[in-house]
């Protein structure tokens, strides 16, 4: 282990990376750098404190995690068995537009474009005339989820089985443990100990070394702050500042409790709107994860816990755990030679399972910009630009779920239904209302089908449709939709049950 850092080394380039924290963010970073950067001659170490522990929640993911694991060379079946993982085809939203409503936001497409016209435009034209079913009926992953069925997607773009993707529902603590073994196997050095201070290179914003409780000093040319909500380096030492988004995302607490499984695990996560927030239900192989994300202005901790416990599917396996957070992001995520990833970089509530994705996006961007020479402020600026866009686009998408509601049954829903929303979101909603156009980006996480799912699922209905959709004769369009729908049904009927897929592909050991 190195002692005090020598400043001269930084001028030669990054030879040593010190990761602060061993939660999901820390071990994802360690595993990725060990695989992708260490072969260039860079030493990777991770410092964590068992006494402090991790945040201990996080179960639902997005399909991007598959590409992260693949890039690292991780075997899917081994990973799924080790993390008690199930398949996730999307999220079911209950009671968001109105009480009693339900829709699934799938990882996949609605229909197929026909003659250069977006499918949803064609659907909108027919639906207005009562000649089309729910848009969900034209989405393979929605029908798969509703029927608890799963088989991996096909590569052939002509097959309807190529029209979806999938993610996992897993135990993120087990994932961190899995990645730890992986990273240590690739030579990552793990240092156990509690950091009590950090020293900067005089007159700079570069961290020179961190100081452990027992007096050890540990240096590095680049530090990755994965220390969780506390942001030990990025805020504690470097005062990056925090942009608070609680005006548009006012939930600030959560209570979590696992319970026994109540039947075979469904291949989707559920988010049910509640009086002062929403409740998650995430089926893993060995249990159900549950939690209530709420706004402390509108409900007390005890009432939230009682509400959650009263609507579990089966017996709780532990005492409820309370968590507090403030929605927003660090004003700068890369300062000097420190990059913040994970909860130390910001937090957006887990409504669309975006936290692990944002860690992954940060790692990918860091690897792309990894300094060849000395740490360069230009790289830091570019990193911040890319990550700011990622966070803002996720924020807008989350805000849409709250704002696009007709609920008026509690002060919480009155508040979010009438709040001022970011201009960037007003613009998107206006365009959709006018003629069903979904604003598209080159970068950014959520693509057209995701926006469509929430708009239509929460009763944001376009006034009209793209005139191009009128070019196809009505009877032909009707036949096209009917054939698509029955093709999806036939395909899903022939698929294995999700439960059987898990048993064959990746059975986990009993907990």
Ligand X SMILES: Cc1cc2nc3c(=O)[nH]c(=O)nc-3n(C[C@H](O)[C@H](O)[C@H](O)COP(=O)(O)OP(=O)(O)OC[C@H]3O[C@@H](n4cnc5c(N)ncnc54)[C@H](O)[C@@H]3O)c2cc1C
- Residue ranges in contact with ligand X by CB under 6 A: 21-26, 47-49, 52-55, 57-61, 172, 194-195, 226-228, 230, 232, 254, 256, 291, 323, 325, 342-344, 350, 353, 355-356
Report CA-CA distances (Å) from 486 to 104, 150, 249: 19, 18, 40
Question: With respect to ligand X, which residue has the nearer C-beta, 99 or 197?
Answer: 197
Least CB distance to ligand X at residue 54 (A): 3
**Dihedral (C-alpha) 50, 241, 6, 12: value to the nearest 10 degrees?**
110
Question: With respect to ligand X, which residue has the nearer C-beta, 230 or 433?
Answer: 230
457 close to 97: Cβ distance less than 8 angstroms: yes
Least CB distance to ligand X at residue 394 (A): 11
3-state secondary structure of 317: coil
Question: With respect to ligand X, which residue has the nearer C-beta, 49 or 246?
Answer: 49
Least CB distance to ligand X at residue 19 (A): 9
Q: How far apart are CA 235 and CA 462, in angstroms?
A: 44
Listed residue (135, 88, 129) closest to 352, CA to CA? 88
Least CB distance to ligand X at residue 27 (A): 8
Question: With respect to ligand X, which residue has the nearer C-beta, 284 or 488?
Answer: 284
Longest alpha-carbon distance in the chain:
79
Q: How far apart are CA 184 and CA 177, in angstroms?
A: 11
288 close to 353: Cβ distance less than 8 angstroms: no
First to last CA, the chain: 37
Question: With respect to ligand X, which residue has the nearer C-beta, 350 or 449?
Answer: 350
338 close to 238: Cβ distance less than 8 angstroms: yes
DSSP per-residue letters across 259-300: E---SSPPSSEEEEEETTEEEEEEE-SS-EEEEEEE-TTTS-
3-state secondary structure of 412: helix
Listed residue (263, 219, 164) closest to 15, CA to CA? 219
- Please name the residue that has the structure tokens 């970089």: 345
Question: With respect to ligand X, which residue has the nearer C-beta, 59 or 379?
Answer: 59
Least CB distance to ligand X at residue 21 (A): 3
Least CB distance to ligand X at residue 123 (A): 31
- Please name the residue that has the structure tokens 């901790």: 301
DSSP per-residue letters across 218-243: EE-SEEEE--GGG-IIIIIIT---EE
DSSP 40: G
Least CB distance to ligand X at residue 25 (A): 3
Q: Which residue of the set 43, 88, 275, 428 is catalytic?
A: 88
Question: With respect to ligand X, which residue has the nearer C-beta, 231 or 436?
Answer: 231
Whether 442 is catalytic: no
Catalytic residues: 88
């Amino acid at each position: 282990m190195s002692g005090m850092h020598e400043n001269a080394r930084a001028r030669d380039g990054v030879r040593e990376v010190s990761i602060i924290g061993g939660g999901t963010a820390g071990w994802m970073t360690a595993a990725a750098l060990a695989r992708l950067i260490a072969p260039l001659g860079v030493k990777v170490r991770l410092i964590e404190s068992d006494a402090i522990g991790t945040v201990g929640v996080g179960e639902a993911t997005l399909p991007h995690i598959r590409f992260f694991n693949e890039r690292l060379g991780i075997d899917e079946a081994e990973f799924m068995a080790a993390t008690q993982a199930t398949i996730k085809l999307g999220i079911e939203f209950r009671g968001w537009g109105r009480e009693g409503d339900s829709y699934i936001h799938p990882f996949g497409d609605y229909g197929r474009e026909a003659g250069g016209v977006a499918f949803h435009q064609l659907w909108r034209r027919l639906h207005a005339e009562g000649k089309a079913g729910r848009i969900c009926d034209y989405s393979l992953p929605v029908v798969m989820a509703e029927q608890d069925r799963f088989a991996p997607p096909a590569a052939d773009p002509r097959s309807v089985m190529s029209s979806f993707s999938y993610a996992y529902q897993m135990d993120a603590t087990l994932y961190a443990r899995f990645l730890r073994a992986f990273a240590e196997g690739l030579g990552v050095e793990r240092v156990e100990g509690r950091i009590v201070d950090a020293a900067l290179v005089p007159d700079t914003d570069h961290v020179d070394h961190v100081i452990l409780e027992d007096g050890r000093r540990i240096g590095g040319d680049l530090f990755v702050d994965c220390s969780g909500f506390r942001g030990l380096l990025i805020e504690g030492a470097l005062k990056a500042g925090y942009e608070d988004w609680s005006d548009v995302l006012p939930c600030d607490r959560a209570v979590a409790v696992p319970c026994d499984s109540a039947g075979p695990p469904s291949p989707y996560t559920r988010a049910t709107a509640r009086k002062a927030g929403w409740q998650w239900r995430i089926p893993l192989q060995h249990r159900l994860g549950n939690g209530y994300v709420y706004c402390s202005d509108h409900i007390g901790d005890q009432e939230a816990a009682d509400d959650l416990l009263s609507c579990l599917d089966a017996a709780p396996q532990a005492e409820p755990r309370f968590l507090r957070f403030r929605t927003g992001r660090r004003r700068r995520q890369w300062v000097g030679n420190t990059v913040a990833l994970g909860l130390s970089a910001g937090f957006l509530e887990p409504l669309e399972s975006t936290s692990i994705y944002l860690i992954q996006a940060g790692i990918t961007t860091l690897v792309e910009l990894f300094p060849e020479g000395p740490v360069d402020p230009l790289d830091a600026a570019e990193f911040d630009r890319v990550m700011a866009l990622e966070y803002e686009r996720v924020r807008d998408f989350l805000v849409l779920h709250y704002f696009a509601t007709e609920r008026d049954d509690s002060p919480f829903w009155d508040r979010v239904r009438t709040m001022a929303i970011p201009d960037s979101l007003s613009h998107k909603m206006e365009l959709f209302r006018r003629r069903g156009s979904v604003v598209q980006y080159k970068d950014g996480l959520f693509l057209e089908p995701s926006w469509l799912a929430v708009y239509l699922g929460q009763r944001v209905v376009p006034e009209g449709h793209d005139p191009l959709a009128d070019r196809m004769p009505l009877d032909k369009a009707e036949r096209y939709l009917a054939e698509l729908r029955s093709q999806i049904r036939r395909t899903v009927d022939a698929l294995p049950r999700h439960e059987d897929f898990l048993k064959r592909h990746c059975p986990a050991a009993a907990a």
